[in-house]
Structure 1
């Protein structure tokens, strides 16, 4: 009997609360010696009367995001877009920056997203070439960008379910070359505080799923069958039309979210891939007229209905052909798909398994520019074997992505649960 992972996770799209897991002491970034923020004057869009915007560049390293000893900048009760501005008397050459978020587990929480802007002399514009904008508690969140010369640098925060705040901002003339969360290159070496909960999770999975090791269609199996790549097909379960531009944005967002899980593995415990290409090879739709493009960049499947929804060609799907052979796929083996992105109009929450992920089409399209499409990330975790945590929580950890509704991005605990699967299955692939 095939192992069918739990597919339903009632993850409300608006739930962005993040609970603190295991606090860690913040590491100073490389280049701390050329931190230019100390010489700037800090101002803000709004500051709670009992907080201080001067805290953001006072040079004090926080120990946790809920620092109750040192000064803090927060915007409670204001929400929406908020910012902190660093202003220098003369132009500075800037190449990177990092921020430490204020999160008191109450009225001030992590932002939904953030970005950096610089003053051109007439307007604020986003820095170009930004490497990423991570959002995590209890550490600095670093970003490298293309070099600019400016007298003003602005940190723009978009609030989630609460107000936002910062404990420290650092800006550098040099690039930040490493981050404190870079995983070890060999062996199994989780933080000491996570050893017990990780063991609890794996034991729970072994006891719950009788076919845990015999199952052969996890995301891991799909990835290695493809030589380090993944193919998707989109099931457009909606009456809405899709332009070529929207199609490309849907593809790009899927690739960015998948990359977040793959980045967890880079350099860890013999993981062989530095980059995992994700390609969308097809679309399934009820009516061809809904797809407003004429190019042949993807295969199109029309009115093949399965589960009351458009279905991508079953001869091309790994879920239906787990031998890895696709002799009857119309486009040939290169046009096979490992998973489906099933976008359903009016669908709440999400579902995920070896067949792919299902989420609401309106939710997904509305989140295309979000840093973390957290329902999709949660369901991708299921495709790689990660379990749900509806009725229990491992010892010593709080909010994390796979505990539905308690985190909006991959946390440290999620990352180590993901790596634990690789630890237990790597021999299957000769590692």
Structure 2
């Protein structure tokens, strides 16, 4: 898949920042508790949830795990202390073997009042990201029991580790940057390559990161329908749903990690661009319609509404105002093979997209979305110790652990521009 260029670049300068005073680490109170659960598979162990071992991934095949296969429905695991603990933060690492045990459809934290279990107050949200700790902060409680209540989805449920703190230790895991040991070297190689290849890496301000942060945790799309085929209202909604589902896969990688502020990043399609209005077989006004506005020999939504053309974030000439602006385009082109991606959005074949509306991983689209967040191609080299991952085209069809940590590494290096 070809990576299409970002905007022109500037020279980069470097400076050193003096180190601040050391801050005492928060104590993980979970390790002093006694674990228990609603059910535990005979070959698993509930002791896994607070043994203090940071999992290498959600499909940990080395350390102990707590799982409930074949039981489904509502399940729970909890920590019980001999004396009441003051709690404000918890971190949960889900067990998911991509088989019988999967991340839950939903979950929440409850605390024991002395006579009943209540939901923790003012929870910040309950992310379900794989291969990382999912952090929840909440209003202070004093309790002898903290329960993780899980509702199964695609399979049974399980946990690898639960941590509990009086105050926020920062980040989504045991530290602000905690990749598995076997990925440290290849991640450093990738970042060194990125810095040497893209001299305006830090000066460029239209990555997907910039767009999500500018919107306060959402993203807007325009669909460029570069095809002569007609589209029904049902197909329009399916196209949107597939786009949102694929985008969520990347955002779930970030949820709860390293001060990433959002547990969910909604995707809204605000406009459709087409050559002939008659191709769009709906009459409602749920999206803006742009007819025969041609750029690059393809229909596009209005330039005054596009972030690519208005990177200040102001849209004074956009019909309908800033709420109708689009950050990226989903460019669906008839007969197009492979894909392309960048800060402007993603381009893939319309036939490929329409034939994969119900596919779990639309891997070409996922690959191109990675480019929109800055991730590179790997046509001529492979980082040490890794072989098959989504951004190395043709070697994987879903986001792997290495892809996830590459994305998090971008956030690690760029998050200071957003005050995180």
Q: Could you state the TM-score of these two structures normalised by the residue count of structure 2?
A: 0.65
Aligned residues: 305
Residue of structure 2 equivalent to 1:198: 187
How far did residue 185 of structure 1 move? 6.4
Cα displacement string for residues 329-387 of structure 1 (whole angstroms, at most 9, x for unaligned residues): 01111100000000011111000000000001111111111111110110000001000
Helix, strand or coil for the counterpart of 2:273? strand
Match of 1:34 in 2: 39
The verdict on how the C-alpha distance between 1:31 and 1:341 changes in structure 2, with shifts beyond 3 A counting, is farther
* Residue 311 (structure 2) aligns with: 322
Aligned to 1:396: 385
Pick from 353, 364, 388 the counterpart of residue 353 of structure 2: 364
Question: RCO (CA 8 Å, sep 6+): is it higher in 1 or 2?
Answer: 1
Runs of 5+ unmatched residues, structure 1: 7-29, 39-60, 65-84, 87-91, 103-113, 117-127, 137-142, 147-154, 156-169
Structure-2 residue corresponding to 1:309:
298
The SS at the match of 2:224 is strand
- Cα-Cα RMSD: 3.4
1:172-183, aligned counterparts within 5 Å?
175-176=157-158
Query: Measured at CA, do residues 294 and 212 of structure 1 come closer, stay the same or move farther in structure 2, by a change above 3 Å?
Result: same
Q: Which moves more between the two structures, 355-364 or 186-195?
A: 186-195
| Partner residue in 2 for 1:272 | 261
Give me the whole-angstrom Cα distance separating, in 2, the residues matched to 1:225 and 1:62: 36
Question: What residue in structure 2 maps to residue 214 of structure 1?
Answer: 203
Which of the residues 344, 351, 354 maps onto 1:355? 344
- Pair 1:195–1:328, CA change in 2 (3 A): same
Write out aligned runs for 1:40-59 (5 A): none
1:376 pairs with one of 365, 370, 375: 365
- Find out whether 1:293 has 2:264 as its counterpart: no
Instruction: Kindly indicate whether the alpha-carbon contact (under 8 Å) linking 2:388 and 2:395 is maintained by their aligned counterparts in 1.
Output: yes
The equivalent of 2:411 in structure 1 is 422
Please give the residue correspondences for 1:113-124 in structure 2 after superposition, counting only pairs within 5 Å: none
Shift in Å at residue 224 of structure 1? 1.1
> Is the 2:96–2:130 contact (alpha carbons within 8 Å) kept by the matching residues of 1?
no
Quote the offset at 1:31 in angstroms: 7.9
From the superposition, tell whether residues 144 and 389 of structure 1 become closer, same or farther in structure 2 (CA, over 3 Å): farther
Rounded Cα–Cα distance in structure 2 between residues aligned with 1:416 and 1:316: 33
Question: Partner of 1:27 in structure 2?
Answer: none
Paired residues of 1:231 and 1:339 also in contact (CA < 8 A): yes
Distance 1:296 1:401 in 2: 37
Q: State the Cα deviation string for residues 30-82 of structure 1 (Å, max 9, x = none).
A: 988824698xxxxxxxxxxxxxxxxxxxxxx9948xxxxxxxxxxxxxxxxxx
Please list every run of 5 or more consecutive structure 2 residues that lacks an aligned counterpart in the other structure.
Answer: 8-34, 44-58, 63-68, 76-93, 108-126, 132-149, 163-170
Given the superposition, is the C-alpha separation of residues 261 and 100 from structure 1 closer, same or farther in structure 2, using an over 3 Å criterion? closer
